[in-house]
A and B are shown apart, each in its own frame.
Chain A
Amino acid sequence: MSHSEIQVREQVRNMILTNFLRGADASSLKDDVSLERSHVVDSVKMLELILFVEETFGFSVDNDEAVPENFDTVDNIVAYVVRKL
């Protein structure tokens, strides 16, 4: 199954809005803002996010790839997932 960038973005945003922001308004999640610094994710949620990416997009995230460059913003996650697919 292939995922377009738009689809990936929507899935990632939905997951974060539903699970980490308790269904908050879509405008409250900015795609270029650090998820860690804005306290949308903590260490436990980070693991959930990685698990979500693995299960949804069907590849495994190597320890060395679990870095801010790939996970700290919605934009970074989308770019990383698209690159891996």
Chain B
Amino acid sequence: MNVSQVTMLHEYLERSTARHPDKTALIFKKRRLSWAEIHEQAGRVASALRELGVRRGDRVVLYLDNSVELAIGLFGVLAADAIFVIVNAQTKTDKLAYMLNDCRARVVISDKLLERFYAPALEQARHLEHALIVDAGAGAAPVAHVKVHDHATTLAAADQAWRAPRNIPTDLSAIIYTSGSTGDPKGVMLTHHNMVSAAESITTYLRNQADDIVVDVLPLSFDYGLYQWLMVNQFGGTLVLEQSFNYPAAVIKVIQEENVTGLPVVPTIASILRQYEEKGLRLPGIRYVTNTAAALSIPHIETLKRLVPNARIYSMYGLTECKRVCYLPPERIHDKPSSVGRPMPNMEVFVCGPDGEKLGPDVEGELVVRGPHVMRGYWEKPEITAQWLKPSPDIPNEMWLWTGDRFKQDEEGFLYFVGRKDDIIKTRGEKVAPKEVENVLYALPGVQDAAVVGQTDAVLGQAIRAFLVLVEGTSYTARQVIEHCAARLEPFMVPKYVTFVSSIPKTPSGKITKKNIWDHSVGARVGGDEL
């Protein structure tokens, strides 16, 4: 096995550029950029950020869809010794403002097309000084106290040379926001060492090689989407970046034209691909498919076998707090289809009881993770961090990550996801705190009680259902409620089902309890989606 010399995330870009400067690194909507071009542009971003006053350890928010500017921008941030924070471009104003303030971002990079969302957020962002906006045009007016600069003009005037970064591997490279049970998002702090360790482990078990061409339809704001690009930098391959999977036929065409070899999916994408497989689509050039978020159903696995006849199929599990935990070796997908496999290289897991005791085979407990990829904690949330990162009972000064996911292991040590310890919903591979959705529901006039729960869904893993009690004289359709949510939440957080009920079960102290909500609602349903 090769021992990697790389300890800093941006060194992957430097190494790949040194090895093959003219090779195509990134393809996005017919644009092709070589490693040398990516390197040069990242240098310009870093210089521009420094000019704008970004100092070591500052946070730079990238509020962008998948794009060349995003892929390059994050390396520019790292080259400036700063920390990148990618915010999903589907995030609405209030949440964006919360994140800008929470991480005290100094600069935001965004796109003029998102102005209707970011402009009101910028006004509220107390620590923000500059916005670097794609297609802002020359002489763009400031938004309140935030100076607006045109992205292309600013970069063109900036120095392309990299200044030697001063950061070391234990410095933070990224903050990734994830849904928090209080309703406020929490920022997962990841160091260069965390991210390099995860990238090394994953590319090892995927057996990536420099001639791999990976298609990425997942948002880079999602760690699974982000790592596709980081890993391509690690092994010096090529990334075919797509904005989304909204146009499956267009993506399939690109996969064929660009001779893609790596196809990362989530179950929703696998479901859509199934329709094409049934019409006879075959993708023989694909060497591997990865799936995470929820286990693939057996029909999906059978479909993939026909669709990608030469591919290894990896079923995986992870969480933002440590990126990835385990993967099922492809040769075991038939005898253990519902398992998410065994720990990836360089890490260890235990299924534990409440006091940290390690449980034997077939006993359900909480999954606990240790390894170099485990986060440093949640940004400026020490109390919440202490609930999830707890001292190891065996090793002094080592912190173990308690995942909140209930698991069991079989005799061979293969892991099976059972469910969540708390009420966090896992849908489309993302975590959703019911509280965050409920807060939005309570903003709808006439909502007396709201309870949001997850229900098993073959495609989404879990689907979101909202139970609502309306005050007398108020009436909404399920669709109106969904539209209200869609205007305020990212699409994956929007309830799929809305059921109106006459009451929601409560504890004697008047607190909503979701334990018997399904049974209770059979008799209490007064409208909306059926149970």
Contact = CB atoms under 8 A, between A and B. Distances in A.
Most chain B C-beta atoms within 10 Å of own C-beta, residue among A42, A46, A65 = A42
Contacts, number: 48
A66 interface: yes
Contacts of A65: 249
Interface in A10-28: 22, 28
Nearest to B112: A38
A38 B89 CA distance: 9
B248 A36 contact: no
A41 B483 CA distance: 13
A28 B483 CA distance: 19
A63 B114 CA distance: 29
Given A36-B243, A63-B248, A67-B250, A42 B65 contact: no
Interface string B243-261: 1111111100100000000
Interface string A56-83: 0000000111111001000000000000
B487 interface: yes
Contact of A39 (B90, B245, B250): B90
A37 B65 contact: yes
A53 to B, nearest CB: 14
Interface string A22-50: 10000010000110111101111010000
B113 A43 contact: no
Contact of A46 (B117, B246, B275, B279): B246
B111 interface: yes
Contact of A34 (B113, B250, B253, B275): B113
Given A22-B487, A33-B113, A42 B275 contact: no
B246 A42 contact: yes
Interface in B92-132: 111, 113-114, 116-117
B276 interface: yes
B246 A37 contact: no
A41 B486 CA distance: 11
B491 A37 contact: no
Contact of A43 (B65, B246, B250, B253): B246
A30 B491 CA distance: 23
A42 B243 contact: no
Given A36-B243, A37-B65, A39-B89, A67 B249 contact: yes
A20 to B, nearest CB: 9
A75 B116 CA distance: 22
A66 B114 contact: no
A36 B246 contact: yes
Interface residues of A, number: 20
A39 B117 CA distance: 10
Most chain B C-beta atoms within 10 Å of own C-beta, residue among A33, A34, A44, A71 = A44
Interface in B37-96: 65, 89-90
A23 B246 CA distance: 24
Contact of A38 (B113, B245, B247, B253): B113
Nearest to A63: B249
Contact of A68 (B90, B113, B247): B247
Given A38-B113, A66-B249, A67-B250, A43 B483 contact: no
A78 B275 CA distance: 27
Interface string B468-488: 000000000000000100010
A43 B249 contact: no
Contacts of B89: 39
Contacts of A67: 247, 249-250, 253
Contacts of A44: 491
Contacts of B111: 37
B244 A36 contact: yes
A37 B245 contact: no
Interface string B15-52: 00000000000000000000000000000000000000
B182 to A, nearest CB: 27
A71 B113 contact: no
Nearest to B250: A67
A29 B455 CA distance: 37
A42 B249 contact: no
Nearest to A28: B116
Interface of A: 22, 28, 33-34, 36-39, 41-44, 46, 63-68, 71
Given A63-B275, A63-B279, 9 more contacts: A22-B487, A36-B243, A36-B246, A38-B114, A39-B89, A39-B90, A39-B113, A39-B117, A67-B253
14 contacts: A22-B483, A36-B246, A37-B65, A37-B111, A38-B113, A39-B117, A42-B90, A42-B246, A43-B246, A43-B491, A63-B248, A63-B249, A63-B279, A67-B250
The 10 closest A-B pairs by CB, nearest first: A38-B113, A67-B250, A64-B249, A43-B246, A42-B491, A46-B246, A37-B113, A67-B247, A67-B249, A63-B249
